[in-house]
Every structure is written in C-alpha cells, then in structure tokens.
Structure 1
C-alpha cells in the first residue's frame, strides 16, 4: 500500500499534492466561468451576435475555455511537469478534454436512455452532477500522469549532476591552483638560491 501511495504521489508530499489539486480546481472553475459567461455573452450580450446560433456559441465558448484551462494548468498547476513540446502537449490536452466530455455525455445517456430518468432534474444531475464530477476526475488523472509528465525540478550542472569539490576549484577544501601540489606554493622550498643562502649563514654562525 505504501509503494502504491508513493507511486501515485510521484515524489510529492501530501501538502504539495494538495496544493496542486487546489490549483487544478481553481483553473477548472475559471475555465467553467469562461465557458458559461462567453456562451451567454455571444447569445444575449450586446449586439446578440449569435442569438439564433446556440451551437456555434457553445463551440466557441468551449474552445476558449479549453485554451484557458490549458494555459492555467501548464503555467501554474503543473508548471514543473510541463512538456518542452508545447504543440504535442496541447494536442494531448485537447484529447483528454474530449474524453472528459464523453464521460459526462455517457452519464447522461445512461441515465436518460437506460434508467429511463427523463425529467429535467434527472438530466441535470446525471450530466452536470455525476458527469461533471467523473469527467473532472478523469481529466485530473490524465493531466497528472499522461499530459504533464516531464520533470524540470532537478538541479545541478548542465548534465544534471551536482559538482563535487574536486571539480570546482572555488569550492571549500579544494586544492589551490586547481589540484596542484600544496608544496609548490611554498616560496622557500621552490627557490634553490634561498636554500643556499640559508645554508651559508648557518655555516658562518657555527664558526
């Protein structure tokens, strides 16, 4: 069970996962508001641009809300896991959202045609209640484990490895001069003339 939890968390703590999930919900709520708001604005707003074209208005509002959701999740919710290939990530994001829509539609179809619950309340509960919850769960799982899967959190050098003191001449404890012999920095030991002068003075003092 512990290994399963570690696998699901992908190295995160419970706190980090909870923050990620709250960000996901915030972005999703923002996209939902954009969808509903833009749909009504296009149909009933100033000029009533698409008053007689509800399907066109809905397609436009859904498309814009998907862009909002992708941007928010890429730059905020999963910013440390976003893919370097943005076009491929956007395509996968779109496919996942289509899958989430099919989940909601499937719940509505099952309730309406199989269970024969055809009242307006039943349709709203199945589509906008159960379908919304299951579709959101489907999206989150796919975003986390399929769409946003690259890891940009590793530090270190260009090759992803942390430099050691032997590799860094400026690191504490590293030999001066990039690993050269410490004795070579002794001016007395490296000058034979000084050695000769010291030996001569010592002989004179003995006399």
Structure 2
C-alpha cells in the first residue's frame, strides 16, 4: 500500500488538475451536445454548421472554467493573449471534430443525427480533448516563471495549488 500512497503523493497535483480539467470539459461537453442537437433538430442547420456553432459556444464555457478553476495557479499572461491562444487551440480541436464529421458524412456516407453525434460529439471531442489538454498546459496557461518547472519534467510540480495549505 505504501508504493500506491507514495505514487499518489507524487502525482496528486496532476490527478487534481486532470479532475478539474475533466469537470470543466464535462460541462462544456453537455453544452456542446445540447447546442449542437438544438441547431440540428430545431433549426435544421447542416451537419457541419451545427457542429461548428455548438463547438464555439462550448469553447466560451470551457475558457471561463479552465482559466478560473483548472489552471488558476498558472501564470497570468494577459486575458487577450490567453483568450486568443485558447481559441486558436480550440480551433484546432474543432477542426479535429469537424474532420471526424466530414469523414463520417462524405467518406463513409453516414449523415444522420446519430452518426453525427458519434463522429463529432464522441470521437471528435475525444481526440480534440487530448490535444486541448496538452496545448493548454503548454501554450495557453504556461507555468509561472520561477517555479519548479524551469527545465524539469512535469512530475516536478511541487504541490496542488488548489488543495494545498
């Protein structure tokens, strides 16, 4: 049991950060699915347009949550810079989602609401989320200068800033 406890202590900050990231992502995901399906079912928008608009609205929700809850301990490099990079990185994530919908519709010939949900809101969001987490930590919300990260690995994070003290 001691090795497990030691491993948890070593990576506690990362586990808590991932839990916060997942929580914000879950809320944004619900917003994504609700708005996308609203655009498709109520407004009868084309698959790609509905997916893009739903992703854009969920990005706004995600930015607020990640900036103020997932990564509050990271350097504040300016709202304009963070917002711009966040939307660029989310643009890449959205392109991943749209590519999945495009492949489903135009390559595989699946153009139903169920197929669009599977390709865009499940596969696309999953792949995009992996890219988003990595890019947020790397570029959008960088580590504060003067922390343990100056050239060290990610495991050198000293403590969980939200749960410490």
**TM class, shorter-length:** 0.5 to 0.7
The alpha carbon displacement at 1:149 in A equals: 0.5
The alpha carbon displacement at 1:142 in A equals: 0.7
**Cα pair 2:97 2:120 within 8 Å, conserved:** yes
**Which has the higher Rg, Structure 1 or Structure 2?**
1
Aligned to 1:125: 118
Unaligned runs of 5+ in 1: 1-11, 45-50, 155-207
The alpha carbon displacement at 1:113 in A equals: 3.0
**Cα pair 2:104 2:111 within 8 Å, conserved:** no
**Cα pair 2:33 2:121 within 8 Å, conserved:** no
The alpha carbon displacement at 1:61 in A equals: 5.7
**Cα pair 1:39 1:61 within 8 Å, conserved:** yes
Normalized per residue, the structure richer in helix is 2
1:104 correspondence with 2:101: no
The alpha carbon displacement at 1:108 in A equals: 2.3
Distance 1:35 1:16 in 2: 28
Distance 1:151 1:67 in 2: 24
Distance 2:95 2:40 in 1: 25
User: What whole-Å deviation, never above 9, does each CA across 1:132-181 have from its counterpart, x for those lacking one?
Assistant: 21011111111111111031684xxxxxxxxxxxxxxxxxxxxxxxxxxx
- Equivalenced residue count is 137
After TM superposition, the structure 1 = structure 2 runs for residues 54-93 of structure 1, keeping only pairs within 5 Å, are: 62-93=55-86
Distance 2:40 2:103 in 1: 30
Q: Structure 1 length as normaliser, TM-score?
A: 0.53
Unaligned runs of 5+ in 2: 1-8, 148-165
1:34 correspondence with 2:31: yes
**Cα pair 1:111 1:126 within 8 Å, conserved:** yes
Q: Structure 2 length as normaliser, TM-score?
A: 0.64
Is the partner of 1:149 in helix, strand or coil? coil
Distance 2:93 2:86 in 1: 11
